[in-house]
Structure 1
């Protein structure tokens, strides 16, 4: 069941049953709307290089890497630019099959034929042997709907995958990492020098498709063409002004978002039957800023036996895992919990 199909199904089920607990809301911008900063009213000119340095400072990365920090309009825009460049260098691309269907839409729009690997119930890296082609593996850290960061052992496996070929590189989507600095696993993978990191203000500041940074690997001459592509397709002056305001005047908003999501998560857990709560991995329940929680019970069973409306994994992409996903974004888990519909 695709996302749009599930949304129609969800509304029908909620309309038909006032006792069903809606644990399938996905719109974080609506749920956390009071926390979203207002755009600036001034028309001050903001330079990309200054924003790149401000972003590096916030995440405790060396400012002398500003030449590697490509300013863009968010992770989706950044991936579109990267994927078009990967086609020009005839790269092989691996995408997670059960994280975000838009990954595949962007890749195919760029003329790529991506391969895939699963992340549920845990990431299983591809085992295909390397060849002489450039090979890129996209992973999200933290990942949704897995709802957690990569473990130390999983980072070990990623590093081993890189070491199998000098032609291998990583693409890390860190949009769900709301802390500063980035998670230890992400920093470790950055230290390999073979990672391209993508981040934006989408989740931490609740401003999608506005501003992001794609941090290229240091001293990688083969990425010069990719850097040129980003410089030729910058954000608008209005987006740059908004990004400057978010990073300076509203630097505390991601912490507020994490706090609100933690509170919502606790309200969700209080409403779930014990058997359902026990089927959610502890790492997902305790991951800061998480609002997607994988449950080792099929969505049909959750609805029929427990009165909980959950998302089937197919909403996120292809998966053979039989579980489902619940979220903490519904009205019932807000600051003033609403009566269950």
Structure 2
């Protein structure tokens, strides 16, 4: 069942049973709408280079990397630019099959035919041998719907994969990392010199498709020109400046709000269902996706809990499902209720 099909199914199920616990809301922008900062009203000029340095300072990265910090309009835009370059050099691309279907849409729009690997119930990195082509592996850290950061062992496995060929690179989607600095595994992968980091204000500040940064590796300057020809608008740059300078605490507030909602979800789950959620997912800051090794149909029929089948996120043969904590029922206050 794909995402759109599931949304129709969800509405029918909730309409038919008022007692069904909705653990399948995915729209974080709607759920946390009151927390989103307002855009600025002034018309001041903001320069991309200043924003790149401000972003590096916030995440405790060297300011001398500013020449590699490409300002863009968010992770989707950044991936679109990168994927077009990968097509031009005939690169092999590996995408997670069960994280974000838009990855595949963007890759195919760029003319690529990506291969895939699963992340549920745990990431299984590709094992195909390297060839003479450039090869890129896209990971998300933290990953959804896995609902956690990659473990030290998993990050070490990515590093080992990179070492097998000098033509290999890793793309790190860090949009769900709401902390400062970035996760330790992400920083270790950056230290390899073979990583491209993608980040945006989408989740931490609740402003999708507005502003992001693609941090290129030291040997990937060929991508810089492509980003410089596709800048954000002046209004997007002003908004990004305000978010970084005047609303720097919003990501922490988002983390606190999501933690409170997660606790409300956990309180309403049967003990055996709660126990089936991995501890790393239950304790990951800012997480609202919780994989559980129980089929969605079983949860609905036997527990009265509406969960998402894994197919909503993409292809995967795992029989488990995914719970979320974004529905109004889990809000600490009722301000977001309709």
Q: TM-score interval w.r.t. the shorter chain? A: over 0.9
Q: Deviations over 1:261-311 (max 9, x none)?
A: 000000000000101101100000000000000011000000000000000
State yes or no: 1:148 paired with 2:130. Answer: no
Deviations 1:11-50 (A, max 9, x none): 0000000100000000000111111000000000000000
Corresponding position: 1:263 with 2:260? yes
Residue by residue, what CA displacement relative to the aligned partner does 1:150-195 show, whole Å, maximum 9, x if unpaired?
1011111111100111110000000000001000000000000000
**Cα shift readout 1:58-91 (whole Å, capped 9, x = no counterpart):** 0000000000000000000000000001000110
Distance of 2:325 and 2:148 partners within structure 1: 15
Take 1:178 and 1:225, find their aligned partners in 2: how far apart are those partners?
Answer: 29
Secondary structure in 2 aligned to 1:214? strand
Residues 66-145 of structure 1 aligned to structure 2 (within 5 Å): 66-145=66-145
Helix, strand or coil for the counterpart of 2:316?
Answer: coil
Per the alignment, residue 297 of structure 1 pairs with 294
Which structure 1 segments of 5+ residues have no match? Answer: none
- What SS does the aligned partner of 2:139 have? strand
Instruction: Report the Cα distance in structure 2 between the residues aligned to 1:139 and 1:320, rounded to whole angstroms.
Output: 19
Paired residue for 2:305?
308
- SS in structure 2 opposite 1:83? helix
Question: Take 1:48 and 1:138, find their aligned partners in 2: how far apart are those partners?
Answer: 26
1:337 Cα deviation after fit: 6.0
- Normalised by the length of structure 2, the TM-score is 0.98
Off by >3 Å, runs of 4+ in structure 1: none
**TM-score, normalisation: structure 1:** 0.98
Separation in 2, partners of 1:108, 1:33: 32
Check the 8 A contact 2:68/2:221 in 1, yes or no. no
Cα deviation digits, residues 202-237 of structure 1 (max 9, x gap): 00000000000000002x1xx333110000000000
Indicate the residue corresponding to 1:182 in structure 2.
182
Q: Is contact 2:25-2:327 (8 Å) kept? A: yes
User: How many angstroms apart in 2 are the aligned matches of 1:235 and 1:258?
Assistant: 27
Are 1:27 and 2:24 matched, yes or no? no
Give the structure 2 partner of residue 10 of structure 1: 10
Cα distance in 1 for partners of 2:64, 2:133 equals 30
Matched residue, 2:65: 65
Report what 1:335 is aligned to: 332
Matched, 1:48 2:45: no
Q: Post-superposition shift, 1:335?
A: 1.7
Q: Say whether 1:272 aligns with 2:290.
A: no
Output the CA distance in 2 between the equivalents of 1:34 and 1:273.
31
Give the deviation of 1:336 after TM superposition: 2.7
Q: Deviations over 1:88-107 (max 9, x none)?
A: 01100000000000000000
In structure 2, how many angstroms separate the alpha carbons of the residues matched to 1:197 and 1:156?
A: 17
Gaps of 5+ in 2: none
State the alpha-carbon separation in 2 of the partners of residues 242 and 159 from structure 1.
36
Give, in whole Å, the separation in 2 of the partners of 1:50 and 1:89.
31
SS state of the match for residue 336, structure 1? coil
